[in-house]
Amino acid sequence: MSEAAGGPSAHDVVVVGGGVTGAGLARDLALRGVSVLLLDKGDWGAGTSGASSWMIHGGPRYLEFDWDTTRLSCEDAGHIVRIARHMVHRCVFLLPVLRDHPLGIERLETAMEVYDRFQPLKGSHAHLALTMEEWGVDPHRLTWANVLDAVRAGARAQNHSRVESLLRDGGSVIGVRYRAPDGRRVEARARLVVNAAGPWAPEVAAMAGARVRLRPAKGIHVVYDRRLSAFAISAEAVDGRDLLLVPHGGVTFLGTTDDDHYGDLDSLDVLPDEVDYLLQAAERVFPSIRQHRPVRATAGVRPTLFQWRPNEDDLSRRFQLLDHERLDGVPGLLTIAGGKLSMYRLMAEVTADAVCERLGVQATCQTAQRPLPGASGVPLPVRELAGEHGITALAAARLLERHGSEAPEVLQDPRRGRLVCRCEALTEAELAHAARHEQVRTLADAFRRVGLAAGPCAGGVCLERAAEVIGHELGWSPGQRRDACREHVTAAWRARAPVLDRWGWAQEELAYGLRRGWPGGL
Ligand SMILES: Cc1cc2nc3c(=O)[nH]c(=O)nc-3n(C[C@H](O)[C@H](O)[C@H](O)COP(=O)(O)OP(=O)(O)OC[C@H]3O[C@@H](n4cnc5c(N)ncnc54)[C@H](O)[C@@H]3O)c2cc1C
């Protein structure tokens, strides 16, 4: 079926993939006046972007083998931090040096002095003895902010819309055929299709017989139910790799692994060995780590460019724009591959420049200066927002991190004083706003957009109420609300099972018993 009754819709560009790269690209193009359709088969940022370590960093490690990546990351991180300032926070790392540390204090300090040259590019301070600074960000929210700005600039953006094939005219790609959220098969024509599908880029390119070579590398994190430390802490793994223990909001991430991945990208398992590898390293610098309670694990696959030989960890994090007309004789298709979250804006700019050149569009890039939604104007201080709207300081702080100067608009709802969940301090007003204005179609979408069930209760306390609030906005029947809860509980359980110890299993039993008491029993 075509998009419009009269025939397939026409856009200048269809972007396939709404991770941070595709979202950034849609924004860049829309701001240049190009008509864009952005599609993601799942939700915004639900692929690799959301499974990252949530850092906008330069990567001092890359200085050893990939100086340019550190420089480019730091430069672009500087832009991202400025355009997304309500979303980012300074993250101070402690760098413990144990007796058998490969560098020792003096050489580590010297490495940090070299990194200090790059720190001003991203607005970070120079290091102090055995501490250094990076930026933290919620990549789900960063991705959404890009989607939202793209839409405000005239783009169309649709999540839960899988591109199933590319439309061809002879050898040329002239659009996509996708499955819409309501199940319809829809065709969308475009002058150019850009493949920004991250680790899935080879799969999308193959739809047109084109080739993208990646060396995908899987990484997992264990997520703890609280801030285990006010500082991030670096740790050395048994094979000498750098690991991180990073507090973010009300939780702590421990990660990450980096292993060649040959399996299915759509069903990533977290293995007990991977969890043990992380814990073994973490307990050398944080001895009580095994006594703390993990609430979930995350897994993602890096879309690293193909290279033969280097260990996964030493692979370059550079990016490449592939023109499939030149490489494979397939006009109408470009792929942007590789890179990092910390340089997504630059990747988008380079791609948008190439697209505009092909389309004959003269407009220049605005994304390095133009603030993302919520980052312009002065946001109210936490206390003032909390006092004015009768919400807790924690709820106000969370709201400001997600919406910045637009937070008061979200609270124009009588449900602003009602919390869906105490542990994540999410108000019903914000959840309803997300369902109405932020393309939340499932409970998992609400986790990504506004942190539903992201706290210590992991949904045990808040899911049922959340399904009512979202269901009310989206017109779900009682059966649909129950199904939504069941689906979320099952998925959350899968993400938690690999990190449960015996007390964790006991708590699961308890939670299961409680849920059986829910109406309709889960
Ligand atoms: C464990 C780990 C930790 C990391 N930590 C950091 C970090 O701290 N800082 C940093 O800078 N970088 C980090 N990275 C790298 C960074 O996360 C990635 O480089 C970046 O997020 C990739 O974004 P992307 O948009 O290119 O890919 P993705 O986020 O994967 O987006 C691709 C999107 O394409 C969609 N898609 C695929 N196929 C289709 C289709 N057929 N139709 C429609 N949509 C489709 C997917 O659903 C997905 O949402 C990390 C990576 C990993 C794995």
Ligand 1 pocket check for 319: Cβ under 6 Å: no
Residues 6+ apart with CB under 8 A from 410: 399, 403, 429, 430, 433
pLDDT at position 1: 52
- In ligand 1, the atom with minimum distance to the C-alpha of 73 is 11
Residues 98-116 have a mean pLDDT of 92
Q: Please tell me the distance between residue 144's alpha carbon and the centre of ligand 1 in angstroms.
A: 13
pLDDT digits (tens, 9 = 90+) for 199-250: 999 999 999 999 999 999 999 999 999 999 999 999 999 999 999 999 999 9
Q: How many distinct helices (H) and strands (E) make up the chain? A: 16, 19
pLDDT at position 461: 81
Three-state secondary-structure class, residue 471: helix
State the helix-helix crossing angle for 344-359 and 20-31, rounded to 10 degrees. Answer: 50
Phi, psi of 417 (to 5 degrees): -85, -5
Question: How close are the terminal C-alpha atoms of the chain, in Å?
Answer: 37
Amino acid symbol at 520 = G
Which residue's CA is the closest to the ligand 1 atom numbered 37?
197
pLDDT at position 379: 86
pLDDT digits (tens, 9 = 90+) for 112-144: 999 999 999 999 999 999 999 999 999 999 999
Q: Assess contact for 234 and 115: CB atoms under 8 A.
A: no
- Tell me: pLDDT of 444 over 60: yes
List the Cα angle 117/122/125 in 5-degree steps. 60
pLDDT digits (tens, 9 = 90+) for 309-351: 888 888 888 999 999 999 999 999 999 999 999 999 999 999 9
- Tell me: pLDDT of 297 over 90: yes
Q: How far is CA 457 from CA 389, 445, 507, 508, in A?
A: 25, 18, 11, 11
Which residue's CA is the closest to the ligand 1 atom numbered 35?
17
Q: Please tell me the distance between residue 46's alpha carbon and the centre of ligand 1 in angstroms.
A: 8
Residues 6+ apart with CB under 8 A from 171: 329, 330, 331
If phi > 0 it is left, if psi is from -120 to 50 it is alpha, else beta; for residue 459 that is: left
Residues, the chain, total? Answer: 522
Ligand 1 pocket check for 146: Cβ under 6 Å: no
- In ligand 1, the atom with minimum distance to the C-alpha of 164 is 41
Distance CA 513, CA 510 (A): 5
